[in-house]
Amino acid sequence: MPRPSVIRRPAAVLLTAATLLSASSCLVRTPDQARDPVATSALTPDAQDGPDPALTGAQARSALVGEADLGAPWAPSEGAATWRDGMLKATTNAAPDCQRLLEALYTEELFGSPWGSEAAVTALDDTDDLAQLRYQVAAHRPADVDRALAWLRTLPGSCGQFLATTTRSGAEAVQVEELPLPAVGDARQGLRITLTGEAGTDGDAPVLSVDLAAVRVGDQSIVLTLGAPGTVLPDDTARRALEVGAQRLAQVRDEARAQA
Is there a domain that residue 37 lies in? no
> What is the share, in percent, of the chain residues with pLDDT greater than 70?
79
Domain enclosing residue 176, as ranges: 18-25+74-259
Total domain count for the chain? 1
Is there a domain that residue 252 lies in? yes
Is there a domain that residue 10 lies in? no
> What is the share, in percent, of the chain residues with pLDDT greater than 90?
58
Query: Mean pLDDT, to the nearest integer, of 30-48?
Result: 38
Is there a domain that residue 6 lies in? no
- Which pLDDT tens digit goes with each residue over 175-210? 999 999 999 999 999 999 999 999 877 778 999 999
Is there a domain that residue 8 lies in? no
- Inform me whether the pLDDT recorded for 140 exceeds 80: yes
Q: What is the largest CA-CA distance in the chain?
A: 63
- Which pLDDT tens digit goes with each residue over 81-105? 989 999 999 999 999 999 999 999 9
For the full predicted model, state whether its pTM sits above 0.85: no
Is there a domain that residue 219 lies in? yes
Could you tell me the sign of the dihedral formed by the alpha carbons of 131, 69, 37, 214, in that order?
negative
DSSP assignment of 159-220, as one string?
Answer: TSEEEEEESSS-EEEEEEEE----S-SSEEEEEEEEEEE---TTS---EEEEEEEEEEETTE
Distance CA 253, CA 84 (A): 32
pLDDT band at 53 (very low <50, low <70, confident <90, very high): confident
